[in-house]
Structures are given as C-alpha cells and as structure tokens.
Chains A and B, each alone.
Chain A
Amino acid sequence: AQKVTQAQTEISVVEKEDVTLDCVYETRDTTYYLFWYKQPPSGELVFLIRRNSFDEQNEISGRYSWNFQKSTSSFNFTITASQVVDSAVYFCALSEAFYGGATNKLIFGTGTLLAVQP
C-alpha cells in the first residue's frame, strides 16, 4: 500500500539556519511521482516540486533543494538560509502512475510545521 511518512511534526529554527524536512514513502509500484507542497497560515497549498521515480537527480531552486534517494525511499527537502516567510506546514505527497484509465490518488504525509524565528 502507498504511504508517506513525515516523522518531524514540528521544527523550529532561527532565521538564516538551514533546515531539512524528511519524507519517506512506501509504494509497490515502480513508476510513481513525488511532490512537495507548502501550506502557509492562510491555508492555500502551494505546489513546490514534482519528481518522477526514474529521475534521481537532485534539484535546486534558489534556497530550496531536494534529495531523492530510491535506495532509502526518501525525498527530503532542504531550505538554505531560512527566512520567516518560510514558516508554513510542508507536505510531501505520492502518486502512482496512471494505468488503465484509473485516476490514482495523491497520498499526503501528515505534514511538518516549520517555524522560522527572526
């Protein structure tokens, strides 16, 4: 069965610190997609990144970077030089491939609340 685990419930850092949010997933499929979303206090979910299971290349986008390791079924997210505006709940999510007309679900982890103190 599909499952996404975000073991860190809450993380508090001081501005300018680097922080890594962990995500571990379980799936029996060989083709799947991983996502990270940000949910600020206002509530809307903001899409951050998508990664497919065949692409293990790490990605960097500004202060954000993602480390995908199939060997450990992890897709961790690092924020470098954190800022107060980064304070939010971050969700990791998994979706299996699209086969046979079925629309597969997006399975969310429980989220990690990141608080960046000034």
Chain B
Amino acid sequence: GAVVSQHPSWVICKSGTSVKIECRSLDFQATTMFWYRQFPKQSLMLMATSNEGSKATYEQGVEKDKFLINHASLTLSTLTVTSAHPEDSSFYICSARRGQGNNQPQHFGDGTRLSIL
C-alpha cells in the first residue's frame, strides 16, 4: 500500500530555533499534501494544504510566516516551524493523497513530536 515517510520523528530543541519537518510519499506522486497539528488527547487540526508547485493554503488562524510550507516536488513537502517557542510544542502529522479526488484516502506519516524547551 501507500507509504508516507515523515522525518524526524522526534525533535527537542531550544526556544528560538527553527525546525524543519519533511514529508515524503514513497511509492506514489502526491500533488496535494496536508499538514496537521494534534495536541494531547485531541483531534487533528488541519494547518495547511500544500500543493506542488504553488503556495500553500493556510487555515484560519495559522500564521503562514511562522509555519513555512514548501512543496517543491511531487514526493516531498516540508514544514518549517520558524523561531519555535514552547507553545509550538505539539505532534505534527503530514498526509499525502494520491490523485486529486476527495474520494481518495489520505495516507499519513508517522508524525513528529516537537518539544521546545
């Protein structure tokens, strides 16, 4: 089946550091990837939709200058948390969808646990 790889799986860093998270679709081309944030014991909240070759579409309330998304190829999207602070600590999950239709399931990466000290 489809596989989505997310790296790193765990990051601990100091406040003020910028952190880059990679999301790769390993066996299919993904024109659309999604970035989610999940707080403990809560649901997934969509942060942005990443489209290959164009600007990401951010959800209301998500700072685009804080969470930089780049989707440079059909198999790779990156999320950079700039100047991270403790309140940015969370579980970040990416997903990739094969094809354009919303009937296609999103396949998720393993997530990245980000802890900002």
Contact = CB atoms under 8 A, between A and B. Distances in A.
A109 B45 CA distance: 10
Interface of B: 32, 34, 41-44, 46, 49, 51, 57, 91, 93, 95, 100-103, 105-111, 113
Contacts of A108: 43-44
Interface of A: 33, 35, 37, 42-47, 50, 52, 91, 95-98, 103-106, 108-111, 113
Contacts of A37: 108
Given A103-B32, A103-B49, A47 B105 contact: yes
A106 B93 contact: no
Contacts of A35: 105
B49 A43 contact: no
A47 B97 CA distance: 12
Given A43-B91, A50-B103, A106 B108 contact: no
